[in-house]
Amino acid sequence: MYEFLTGPMFWLSLGTCFIGITVRFVLYFKGLNWQLERVAYKAYPAQGLKGALNSILNWLIPFGTCGWRKQPFMTLIFFGFHIGAVLVPLFLLAHNIFLKEKIGISLITLHPVIADILSWSVIVCAFLLVLRRISLPEVRILTTAYDYFILLLSVAPFVTGLIARYEIGNYSFWLTTHIICGEALLIAVPFTKLSHIALFFASRAQLGMDYAIKRGGMKGKGMAW
Amino acid sequence: MPEGKLCNRKPIETEEELKTLLSDTGGKKYYEEMKSLDVDSGLLWKTIGNTLKSRTKTWLEICAHCGMCADSCFLYLANDCDPKQVPAYKIQSTLGEIVKRKGQVDNEFMHMVMETAWAKCTCCNRCGMYCPHGIDMGVMFSYLRGLCYQQGFVPWELKIGAGMHRVYRAQMDVTDEDFVETFKWMVEENEEDYPGLEVPIDKEGADILYTVNAREVKHYPEDLAEAAILFHLAGENWTVTSTGWEQTSLAMFAGDWAACKMQVESVYEAMERLKPKRMIGTECGHAHRATVVEGPYWAGRSNGKPPVESIHYVEWLAEALREGKLKIDPAKRIKKKVTLQDSCNYVRNHGLKDITREIMSYIVDPGYFIELSPNREHNYCCGGGGGFNGIGLFRPQRNKGLITKRDQIIESGAELVIAPCHNCWDAIRDLEEEYKIGIKWSFLKPIIISMVEIPEHLKPEE
């Protein structure tokens, strides 16, 4: 089982994720239409690029935009969730040892204590995101079972990973479950809302170009996100 | 039932059709017919297939349902934080649902969509600034209005408005002759006070081509006189065109994109015929957006610009004051608490946030100008944008929607609100009528005229 999961399934899930997400990213930009969106993308490439980067970067900084500052609690749990969700899978020591064995390369690694803190942060923040969904009427009305499913899919590798890491119960069982959850997540990325991993950048870039090219970016100081 | 006589999927094409629809006071019969209007699901789905591409598709798909857009919406705030007013909910439950059902929606559903598209969103685009994914629900509502219009589910006044543009190339039944005659008449009325005042018609190669809002011609002709007086005092070489003079577009509010194109092309043709150095539009927000910001795209101009440089009235005014073409008598500057309404259409959607404040610095005595909070590109819609002001059916919702602006003004303590935008001006007038908070409101032109110094050589002989 372990051999299968770390062999063919590893390649299949990673391939599906990378190829799928690349396809979606490319299709997004190929699908842009200057007349339908009413943005002259090609006429002002420099302004467009500047606007796109501005739009992306500001939103990647905690409290970097008016939107984030307006909702400090959401900002904290949002970044508490996403920072761990991005860094831990990529830079966890165990993942990189595996990578080294598998493909001969490894990335920089997180200190184990930091990895623990970030993993816990993902779980706690996911729990708070659920509470927020339940308690705030303006979020509850939007929430569907699908939203919980996506959250569950995202947090499952962290829960199972931590159980394995603390060696609670049967280590081999939890490690296998962790790998299954991780691979399920990777496969789901291109086909679900998790595609926002890439499409967040695409969507933010588009609105940034819209504001930079058409909606006043060339007048005065540009956009105060 | 198939299409009705008044309420149908066909745009208004003739004066006769327009008059027939106008004679249905308040749209009584029109809305009655709408109750049994069929939805052409095939056409709806085909249109979506042709026009709903990756940007909008992605917006609908990746919305995280986080609700961060909720309190960015002035209608959510004005309606006691009703969850049904959350922008993401409004668009997901309408456009999102139509897409999910592949266009298979019924009459009752389309009634709900129409109300949501015109009475729960003014397309002010503020929510787009508060969404982490950059999902602009105002843009999607504008798109949705186009689908509604195509299906015949459009408020009576806006069906008429779009028809006016198709028939008269103006938002009201104002002909080219009416426009020229009214402008000339208003100039004659003021000639005694301003010797040499004129309105040059169809002058080629002028520095400025001035375009207006048809309701100035029909209801507020003094606005035309004020524009002429200020150009005259500033010594500008200006002109108006006898055809293609209407800058506004109710067709944009209606979602009648073909009429938007017809309208804006009439203005561009005038630009190309008269070859002015610049076009300056009147103090109107949506007119500027229609002709300068969105118009080039409707007309298929790939550089996204009108044929000649086109600026808003506030840009010209700031320039005239800055360069001393117009001089303000310091003794006559405003000496009471005054605030400024930022128009969504040229502030949030065209970046003119500082220029109006520059004007304030020339015309208000230090210490009297107060900002609304929030302001600039974060300002709330006046409450009547996007056609909301003009729809009788949704008047109660519009009046409720004014509450956010009302409270913003009360909080500022201002006695006077300067609103260089027709829609904002109307909404603020209406909120004073409705809620009586004791404020005055004004465009810039009359204020400037009340305090501008008249150069010696332009003064009337005693």
Nearest to residue B67, comparing CAs of B55, B85, B80?
B85
Nearest to residue B149, comparing CAs of B15, B34, B28?
B34
Residue-by-residue DSSP string for A20-69:
HHHHHHHHHHHT--HHHHT--TTT-HHHHHHHHHHHHHHHHSTT-SHHHH
Q: Distance from A36 to chain B by nearest Cα, in Å?
A: 7
Residue-wise burial string across B86-109, b where 16 or more C-beta atoms lie within 10 A, e elsewhere: bbbbbbbbbbbebbeeebebeeeb
Among the four given CATH numbers 1.10.405, 1.20.950, 3.30.350, 1.20.1560, the one describing domain A2-214: 1.20.950
Burial of B23 (0-12, 13-18, 19+ CB in 10 A): exposed
The rounded distance, in Å, linking the Cα atoms of B352 and B350 is 6
Contact state of A141 with B293 under an 8 Å Cβ cutoff: no
β-sheet bridge partners, residue B334: B364
Element (H, E) at B417: strand B416-418
Mark out the alpha helices in chain A (DSSP H runs): 2-6, 8-30, 34-37, 45-60, 66-70, 72-91, 93-103, 112-135, 137-140, 145-165, 171-188, 196-209
Q: What is the pLDDT of residues A108-149, one digit of tens each?
A: 999 999 999 999 999 999 999 999 999 999 999 999 999 999
The rounded distance, in Å, linking the Cα atoms of B67 and B83 is 9
The rounded distance, in Å, linking the Cα atoms of B157 and B162 is 9
β-sheet bridge partners, residue B338: B369, B416
Closest residue to B89, CB basis, from A43, A55, A142: A142
Domain extent listing, chain A: 2-214
* Interchain CB contact of A180 with B (< 8 Å): no
Burial of B458 (0-12, 13-18, 19+ CB in 10 A): middle
Kindly report the backbone phi and psi dihedral angles of residue B387, in degrees, each rounded to the nearest multiple of 5, phi listed first.
100, -10
* Interchain CB contact of A62 with B (< 8 Å): no
Contact state of B349 with A32 under an 8 Å Cβ cutoff: no
pLDDT at B116: 98
**B156 touches B392 (CB < 8 A):** yes
The rounded distance, in Å, linking the Cα atoms of B52 and B39 is 19
Q: What is the pLDDT of residues A29-42, one digit of tens each?
A: 999 999 999 999 99
In A, which residues are within 8 Å of B65 by CB distance?
Answer: 133, 139, 142-144, 147
Q: Is the pLDDT of residue A200 over 80?
A: yes
- Suggest the residue from B54, B91, B353 to mutate for an interface test with chain A (most A CBs closer than 10 A): B54
pLDDT at B1: 59
Q: Is the pLDDT of residue A204 over 90?
A: yes
Q: And the tokens for B137? A: 């629900």
Q: Is the pLDDT of residue A2 over 90?
A: no
Contact state of B134 with A31 under an 8 Å Cβ cutoff: no
The ipTM assigned to this model is 0.95
Q: And the tokens for A133? A: 């969904």
pLDDT at A218: 85
Q: Which residue shows structure tokens 């190309």?
A: B272
β-sheet bridge partners, residue B442: B418
Q: What is the pLDDT of residues A94-107, one digit of tens each?
A: 999 999 998 899 99
Nearest to residue B296, comparing CAs of B264, B342, B331?
B264
The rounded distance, in Å, linking the Cα atoms of A70 and B231 is 44
Element (H, E) at B226: helix B221-233
pLDDT at B316: 98
**B288 touches B247 (CB < 8 A):** yes
Mark out the alpha helices in B281-420 (DSSP H runs): 285-288, 295-298, 313-322, 355-363, 395-401, 403-412
Q: Which domains does chain B show, CATH number per domain?
A: 39-154 (no CATH), 170-311 (no CATH), 330-451 (3.40.50)
Residue-wise burial string across B172-192, b where 16 or more C-beta atoms lie within 10 A, e elsewhere: bbbebebbbebbeebbeebee
Kindly report the backbone phi and psi dihedral angles of residue A98, in degrees, each rounded to the nearest multiple of 5, phi listed first.
-60, -45
β-sheet bridge partners, residue B210: B280
- Suggest the residue from B60, B68, B314, B378 to mutate for an interface test with chain A (most A CBs closer than 10 A): B68
Please tell me whether residue B401 adopts helix, strand or coil conformation. Answer: helix
Contact state of B55 with A37 under an 8 Å Cβ cutoff: yes
In B, which residues are within 8 Å of A208 by CB distance?
Answer: 134
Contact state of A66 with B348 under an 8 Å Cβ cutoff: no
Beta-carbon pairs below 8 A across chains A and B = 157
Please tell me whether residue B201 adopts helix, strand or coil conformation. Answer: strand
Q: What is the pLDDT of residues A78-96, one digit of tens each?
A: 999 999 999 999 999 999 9
Residue B417 amino acid letter? V
* Interchain CB contact of A222 with B (< 8 Å): yes
**Residue-by-residue pLDDT tens, chain B, 462 positions:** 589 999 999 999 999 999 999 999 999 999 999 999 999 999 999 999 999 999 999 999 999 999 999 999 999 999 999 999 999 999 999 999 999 999 999 999 999 999 999 999 999 999 999 999 999 999 999 999 999 999 999 999 999 999 999 999 999 999 999 999 999 999 999 999 999 999 999 999 999 999 999 999 999 999 999 999 999 999 999 999 999 999 999 999 999 999 999 999 999 999 999 999 999 999 999 999 999 999 999 999 999 999 999 999 999 999 999 999 999 999 999 999 999 999 999 999 999 999 999 999 999 999 999 999 999 999 999 999 999 999 999 999 999 999 999 999 999 999 999 999 999 999 999 999 999 999 999 999 999 999 999 999 999 987
Closest residue to A43, CB basis, from B65, B136, B303: B303
In B, which residues are within 8 Å of A217 by CB distance?
Answer: 351
Among chain B residues, CA nearest to A137: B83
